[in-house]
Amino acid sequence: MEFEAWWLLLPIAFFALGWFAARIDIRYVLRDARALPSAYFRGLNYLLRQENDKAVESFVDVSKRDPHALDLQLALGSLFRRQGRVSDATAIHQSLVDRHDLPKEKRELALFELAQDFHASGMFDRAETLYGQLKGTSYEAEATTKLASVLEQEKEWEKVIEARERIASLNSLPQDRLIAQSHCEIADVALAKNDLDAVRKSLASAESHNRNSGRAKLLAFRAALRGTAPAEATAALQELMRVQPELVALVSDEIVAFFGPEQSAVAIEQLAAAQRVAPSSIGLSKLIDASIKIEGREKALLRLRAELQRNPSARETARLLDLESENESNSGGTTMKEVAELLRRATEKTPGYHCGHCGFHAPRYYWKCPGCNEWESFRATPLG
């Protein structure tokens, strides 16, 4: 009987222990909940007053007490970078990377964020090193994509190719078009040095990644001109016409020089054919330049009138008026010249090219947009 009575006391004892434990827990949570915001606001105040060292001290203090604070700190750092406050972001992320008590995954994330801070502030060497340290982590694919962008800015084309091949193996995203561009960059440098063997080698690599690379065809044409290989040049020009006729205007002067006075009609026909397939303001302008030089003013005028009837363009109409006014000796001629001048002034800011991705305008062609860093996004400004 004595044993059974003692047994009945057990539930009461458990209840008391549970109540006691719950009170300790609640007190602990309440204490932290009260402590956390004040430390955070203290840290934020330091940041707003540009007292970065004290701010970081406060945040470190908070994140040591609460693992959730670590996520908040990472989010805050990322937010600062997006707002352009890169030094504040760097201070937060550097303090996290310097800690040795972080879980592996959080440390890797802090490292990735810090690499992006260095990238954003133009410290490419440090960004490159940190992106490289993320090899084998869950951030490797993203880090390698950003690393490729850093290497492109540093014009380290061999390393860019390596990085892009790694990206393709990590996430199966097609990189061939971009790898071909890197090979073309190498070919471009070799062409400037007149190293034609190196140019051919790089162009073959470019074509193995992108058979329809307009840039590779264009460079092959230029290389053939340097190497005085007319058959190769003709073949490269035909290929350029086939894959990207809008790029023909970029080599219009070289085309005129290549065909020479004997075959000048062929040169004009090449430029006219490109203009028919891919009409653009710059293409028409180059065609008329070549026509004046080769066929003379009268024929150029007829050609320009026919082209404008097909595709009207304010800028080129100014040129038409200018050419026509030379046939008029009376006051009509003066008026035509004045109207041509007004039209020219109204359209002189019309750019030759623009980015189809971000809208960046430029008088010259870029393989990679300086505005948004997108490859092959430049288009010739249409007639109009």
Least distance to Zn ion from the beta carbon of 371, Å?
A: 4
Amino acid at residue number 196: L
Encode 31-66: b = buried (16+ Cβ within 10 Å), e = exposed.
eeeeebeebbebbeebbeeeebeebbebbbebbeee
Does position 355 bind Zn ion by CB under 5 A?
Answer: yes
DSSP 159-205: HHHHHHHHHHHHH----HHHHHHHHHHHHHHHHHTT-HHHHHHHHHH
**Of 33 and 372, which CB lies nearer to Zn ion in the complex structure?**
372
Cα gap 88→94, rounded to integer Å: 10
Distance CA 181, CA 290 (A): 30
**Position 358 contacts Zn ion (CB under 5 A):** yes
Return the SS3 of 374: coil
Stretch in the footprint of Zn ion (CB under 5 A) among 1-9, 257-265, 310-318, 355-363: 355-363
CB of 146 closer than 8 Å to CB of 119: yes
Tell me how far, at minimum, the Cβ of 367 lies from Zn ion, in Å: 12
Sheet holding 378-380, edge to edge: 361-362, 353-355, 378-380
What are the backbone angles phi and psi of residue 368, rounded to the nearest 5°? -125, 125
Using only C-alpha atoms, what is the Rg of the chain? 33
C-beta closer to Zn ion: residue 293 or 357: 357
Those residues with Cβ within 8 angstroms of residue 358's Cβ, 6 or more apart along the chain or in another chain: 369, 371, 372, 374, 377
Of the pair 40, 367, the CB lying nearest Zn ion is at 367
Under the criterion CB under 5 A, does residue 379 sit at the interface with Zn ion? no
* Of the residues 132, 227, 351, 371, which one makes contact with Zn ion according to CB under 5 A: 371
What's the min distance (Å) between Cβ of 357 and Zn ion?
4
Binding of residue 360 to Zn ion (CB under 5 A): yes
Among 42, 126, 344, 357, binds Zn ion (CB under 5 A): 357
Question: Residue 105 CB, nearest distance to Zn ion (Å)?
Answer: 35
Q: How many Cα neighbours within 13 Å face the side chain of 133?
A: 17
Contact status: 300 vs Zn ion (CB under 5 A) = no
Quick check: 248 and 255 in contact, CB under 8 A?
Answer: yes
Among 83, 226, 372, 382, binds Zn ion (CB under 5 A): 372
The residue among 256 and 355 lying less far from Zn ion, judged by its C-beta, is: 355
Q: Which stretch binds Zn ion (CB under 5 A): 148-156, 192-200, 265-273, 368-376?
A: 368-376
Indicate whether 346 belongs to the interface with Zn ion (CB under 5 A). no
Q: Which stretch binds Zn ion (CB under 5 A): 35-43, 135-143, 205-213, 358-366?
A: 358-366
Pattern 302-341, binding to Zn ion, x per CB under 5 A?
A: ----------------------------------------
In the complex with Zn ion, which residue's Cβ is closer, 337 or 357? Answer: 357
CA separation for the pair 74, 52 (Å, rounded): 15
The site that binds Zn ion (CB under 5 A) totals a number of residues, namely 7
221 Cβ contact list (under 8 Å, min separation 6) = 233, 236, 237, 240, 251, 254
112 with 134: CB under 8 angstroms? yes
Q: Is 356 in the site for Zn ion (CB under 5 A)?
A: no
CB of 372 to Zn ion, least distance (A): 3
Q: Which is nearer to Zn ion, 227 or 371 (CB)?
A: 371
> Judged by CB under 5 A, does residue 369 bind Zn ion?
yes
- Residues in contact with Zn ion by CB under 5 A are 355, 357-358, 360, 369, 371-372
